Structure 1
């Protein structure tokens, strides 16, 4: 940790949460049969078996295992003023990391992420994942991954209603990623490192790419507000769980230029325990960010769920 890194004492996750993320999560919770799908999935599997399944082929990070990762992780956790959660490294051939768990969250890094990212980039990623935990995302992230995996193998527990919930979860997750990119930036407090990480996630290598050109590429997505909406709708059709790295860089730049990042680092941020904003406030803020994007996605999911309540009940049976 450098001398210029500010510890964000008692920072509340609402400080970094994108308004479209909050509105999307509120809308997700209002989808008919969402609670039933949630209970059915976790009632069927249980937390402990799911946890063991994720961690059976991973190495727990400690002072004597992946010591570099351990040091950087403690720095990120200290900056966000949170006790570190269990952290693991698993063999993986893609740049990826994730936070899972229901009552006991944990974080997993793919080994390629550890190998390919420098210290600042890795700290950004670890801060991003801590952001998911602190924002209460892990329950929904776990549910999304389980439903997605089950849907790919045709498991009978995934009926039409559950697929509607999965679609809505994926739409929410793309917005949640934008929130947690901000958490990652606050953890590293070097915006360039965050954008450099996105360049690597997009397939770039340090000796073959130019960050300034990549940032210029992101400007195409900031020409009009409507363009981002259109791209997100395409991503929804393509069933991608993450927004494209270029879009994430564009959103980072929007945040920087709003002045929010500088204000937070200067000490102007929500503290834990302050009153929650109202749902209507979140919807209004999301509308300013994405206009009709969240409404369209969740309206379609809600209508689909209503049409298949009976199918859902038959698919899951009485419990």
Structure 2
């Protein structure tokens, strides 16, 4: 482990991505992978026409990390890969961009891109959590599907309006999977750093961090609880509408989901060595993933309906109180 590390991290030898994946993410990926020849065909097409151009663009206009270029980022990525047991760390590039963001790009040999502004706002530990998140995307095989499906559908929606309307339900469904894949990789980021405060703090910084600004994680967690706890009827509707076009869940939701996963005991079980290994056959029935995914959506819908019901009750009480006040006058 690197000098100055506050705790020894458990090396998650041969950990399989299924150990941390969100059931809705996993079910959607399994559906795509079951299409005969689909995965192989996509890899060949995009490896031929897409990856080389993307990789050359970053080589030409970004800085690749190494022992001499951003050595601390290079070292942190190596440690993430050690913990998640990735034999060959992916290449990592720093791109001069003001938007605080990161991504995993490519098909045959995916690589990571960190925007330079992220390095200015996040601490080194928080950047490491982001690196773990991106490595999680790569291990789960998200990069191919995210790049292909979202870009192709965006192209269709933008260029061919009638086809776009017909594909809109599929597009929205893919957006929902895209968001769930982010929740999966948040878990991977946590497993990489094995420090819940660091993982959640990174999400807080991505939401609204600034240069030289000190943020309070407890306050942000309270904000997360407040967001999930309620609001009026209009707030409940806006919560659904606001997220429909988003590729990422809102940061407050990501923090809440990460806390839920920790409190479920799954995180501690993995650190205790109770996880699926890559050389083990995944005997988990596909239908079980679907059931878990459906349950997750049902629970979310139930929470939404409860919020709406409570909001209607509050509105009715206010109207009734106002009406009584007028009749008494």
Q: Report the TM-score, using the length of structure 1 for normalisation.
A: 0.78
Q: 1:15 to 1:231 in 2, by over 3 A?
A: farther
Take 1:156 and 1:222, find their aligned partners in 2: how far apart are those partners? 38
Matched with 1:249 is 255
What is the CA deviation profile of residues 97-128 of structure 1, one whole-angstrom value per residue up to 9, with x for unaligned ones?
Answer: 11121112111111111222112101100000
Take 1:141 and 1:48, find their aligned partners in 2: how far apart are those partners? 17
Matched with 1:61 is 65
Q: 1:30 to 1:81 in 2, by over 3 A?
A: closer
Contact 2:175/2:247, CA 8 A, preserved across alignment: yes
Aligned residues: 286
Q: 1:89 to 1:43 in 2, by over 3 A?
A: closer
Matched with 1:80 is 84
RCO higher in structure (CA 8 A, sep ≥6):
1
Take 1:284 and 1:108, find their aligned partners in 2: how far apart are those partners? 35
1:291 aligns with 2:295: no
Q: 1:57 to 1:164 in 2, by over 3 A?
A: farther
Take 2:58 and 2:294, find their aligned partners in 1: how far apart are those partners? 37
Residue number among 175, 178, 185 corresponding to 1:180 in the alignment? 185
Take 2:45 and 2:163, find their aligned partners in 1: how far apart are those partners? 12
Shift of 1:40: 11
How is 1:114-193 mapped onto 2 (pairs within 5 angstroms)?
Answer: 114-144=119-149, 146-147=151-152, 150=155, 154-155=158-159, 159-160=163-164, 165-193=170-198
Shift of 1:182: 0.3
* Alpha-carbon RMSD: 3.3
Instruction: Look at both structures and tell me which one has the larger radius of gyration over its CA atoms.
Output: 2
Take 2:217 and 2:247, find their aligned partners in 1: how far apart are those partners? 24
Residue number among 16, 19, 22 corresponding to 2:23 in the alignment? 19
What is the CA deviation profile of residues 209-257 of structure 1, one whole-angstrom value per residue up to 9, with x for unaligned ones?
Answer: 3211110121235559xx9x977742453x1110000000000110110
Structure 1, unaligned runs of 5 or more: 295-319
Q: 1:77 to 1:39 in 2, by over 3 A?
A: closer
Q: 1:151 to 1:116 in 2, by over 3 A?
A: farther
